[in-house]
């Protein structure tokens, strides 16, 4: 998977920047990273041409304010002039971005899974602990090389909660109560012909034999699926659900009530005395408000079992 990150650099340009021994001395001792504070106050102060004894490197800078001013202009210009937006692929790769001029600015990674910002003004700024890390920055008068690399991206999770019903209760699912004769609960494997599909429990849509029986009226359970802060927009998921019933009069459906997108075309279950678990699956793209609804409608009062409902990123 490829996500694009953009680094923005505000590049200072100054016409009075001369390459000389004074500038070399600054650069040999850390450049902007070491002397940004000195330079910004130096540049904000007025010195006469004869002032001496100011600043570092008196011999290389010949004690001349003009030399210091030039060097500071080279390494710590505050004039925003140009912005470049190189893109880097963060999947563990390392990208070197070379821009010309001195740098004061920010590095930002936008999009998956979050926005991070840092100031590229020290020797090793860090954009983020979870996404993009600037591992080295070297500053010189004409070239700035920023090497970035990423550390592990968070994984995008399966997002249905209690889809195997192994909590032993219907936790996280809610009966919609649209059919007064039927409701969902959780039952043990022993109560299911052929048993649970996995482990001990499955969900069961159970009709009350005392009625009022409403043939063909669906009964629903639902859960709000918290989509996926850790996943990119447009992430696709494999929806899977396993269903069985002894009747051959039941229709089963699943859909996203947020978008109205149906997951499964309504399917007539095969039934039988030891019915198979029927797998229903489809690749879907959940929206942001995502309500997973599971429903069944039967023309007889026969139990319908559900197990192992999941939405797994693909
Ligand atoms: C589906 O959404 C509609 C509209 O918001 C709402 O009235 C209805 O209760 C929802 N159905 C279920 C099963 O949650």
- Tell whether ligand 1 has an atom less than 6 A from the beta carbon of residue 224: no
Work out the mean pLDDT of the chain and round it to a whole number.
Answer: 72
* pLDDT, mean of residues 26-45: 75
| SS3 per residue for the chain | CCCCEECCEEEECCCCCCCCHHHHHHHHCCHHHHHHHHHHHHHCCCCCCCCCCCCCCCCCCCCCHHHHHHHHHHHCCCCEEEEECCEECCCCCEEEEEEECEEEEEEEECCCCCCEEEECCCCCCCCCCCCEEEEEEEECCCEEEEEEEECCCCCCCCCCCCCCCCCCCCCCCEECCCCCCEEEEEEEHHHCCCCCCCCCEEEEEEECCCCCCCCCCCEEEEEEEECCCCCCCCCCEEEEEEEEECCCCEEEEEEECCCCCECCCCEECCCCCCCCCEEEEEEECCCCEEEEEEEEEECCCCCEEEEEEEEEEC
- Residue 16: per-residue pLDDT: 57
Comparing 155 with 177, the larger pLDDT belongs to 177
Comparing 103 with 271, the larger pLDDT belongs to 271
- Tell whether ligand 1 has an atom less than 6 A from the beta carbon of residue 220: yes
Whole-model pTM: value is 0.56
pLDDT confidence bin for 267, thresholds 50/70/90: low
pLDDT at 168 > cutoff 90 = yes
Q: What separation in angstroms does the CA of 40 have from each of 44, 73, 78, 109, 312?
A: 6, 9, 8, 28, 54
**CB-based contacts of 285, cutoff 8 Å, min separation 6:** 234, 235, 236, 237
* pLDDT, mean of residues 52-69: 80
- Tell whether ligand 1 has an atom less than 6 A from the beta carbon of residue 257: yes
Percent of residues, the chain, with pLDDT higher than 90 = 31
- Residue 59: per-residue pLDDT: 87
Q: Ligand 1 centroid to 222 CA: how many Å?
A: 9
From the alpha carbon of 291, which atom of ligand 1 is closest? 14
Q: Ligand 1 centroid to 258 CA: how many Å?
A: 8
Strand partners of residue 132:
150
- Residue 234: per-residue pLDDT: 78
* pLDDT, mean of residues 268-291: 84
* pLDDT, mean of residues 22-29: 85
For β-strands 250-256 and 237-245, DSSP reports them as unpaired
Taken in order of first residue, the domains within the chain and their CATH numbers are 5-150 (no CATH), 174-313 (2.60.120.260)
* pLDDT, mean of residues 189-202: 95
- Residue 239: per-residue pLDDT: 92
Q: Ligand 1 centroid to 291 CA: how many Å?
A: 9
Measure the CA–CA gap between 187 and 193, rounded to whole angstroms.
12
- Residue 20: per-residue pLDDT: 86
pLDDT at 242 > cutoff 90 = yes
* pLDDT, mean of residues 88-100: 40
Question: Are residues 36 and 108 in contact, defined by beta-carbon separation less than 8 angstroms?
Answer: no
- Residue 31: per-residue pLDDT: 76
Q: Ligand 1 centroid to 180 CA: how many Å?
A: 17
- Tell whether ligand 1 has an atom less than 6 A from the beta carbon of residue 291: yes
pLDDT at 287 > cutoff 50 = yes
Q: What is the pLDDT of residues 97-151, one digit of tens each?
A: 443 333 444 444 443 333 333 444 443 444 443 444 444 444 443 444 455 555 4
CA triplet 293, 295, 301: central angle to 5 degrees?
Answer: 160
pLDDT at 296 > cutoff 90 = yes
């Amino acid at each position: 998977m490829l996500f694009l990150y953009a680094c923005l650099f505000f590049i200072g340009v100054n016409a009075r920047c001369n390459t000389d021994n004074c500038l070399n001395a600054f650069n040999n001792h850390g450049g902007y990273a070491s002397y940004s504070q000195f330079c910004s106050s130096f540049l904000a102060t007025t010195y006469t041409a004869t002032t001496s004894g100011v600043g570092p490197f008196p011999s290389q800078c010949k004690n001349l304010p003009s030399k210091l001013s030039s060097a500071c202009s080279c390494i710590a210009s505050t004039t925003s002039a140009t912005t470049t937006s190189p893109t880097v692929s963060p999947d563990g790769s390392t990208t070197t971005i070379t821009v010309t001029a001195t740098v004061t600015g920010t590095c930002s990674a936008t999009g998956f899974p979050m926005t991070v910002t840092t100031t590229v003004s020290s020797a090793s700024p860090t954009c983020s602990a979870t996404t993009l890390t600037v591992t080295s920055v070297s500053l010189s008068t004409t070239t700035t090389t920023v090497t970035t690399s990423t550390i592990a991206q968070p994984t995008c999770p399966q997002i249905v909660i209690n889809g195997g019903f192994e909590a032993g209760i219907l936790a996280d699912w809610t009966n919609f109560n649209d059919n007064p004769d039927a409701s969902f609960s959780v039952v043990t494997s022993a109560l299911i012909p052929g048993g649970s599909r996995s482990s001990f429990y499955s969900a069961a849509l159970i009709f009350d034999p005392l009625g009022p029986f409403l043939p063909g009226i669906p009964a629903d359970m639902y859960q709000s699926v918290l989509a996926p802060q850790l996943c990119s927009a447009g992430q696709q998921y494999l929806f899977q659900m396993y269903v069985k019933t002894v009747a051959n009069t039941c229709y089963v459906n699943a859909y996203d009530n947020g978008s109205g997108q149906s997951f499964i075309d309504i399917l007539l279950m095969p039934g039988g005395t030891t019915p198979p678990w029927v797998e229903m699956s489809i690749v879907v793209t959940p929206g942001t408000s995502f309500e997973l609804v599971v429903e069944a409608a039967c023309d007889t009062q026969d139990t319908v079992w559900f197990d192992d409902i999941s939405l797994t990123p693909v």
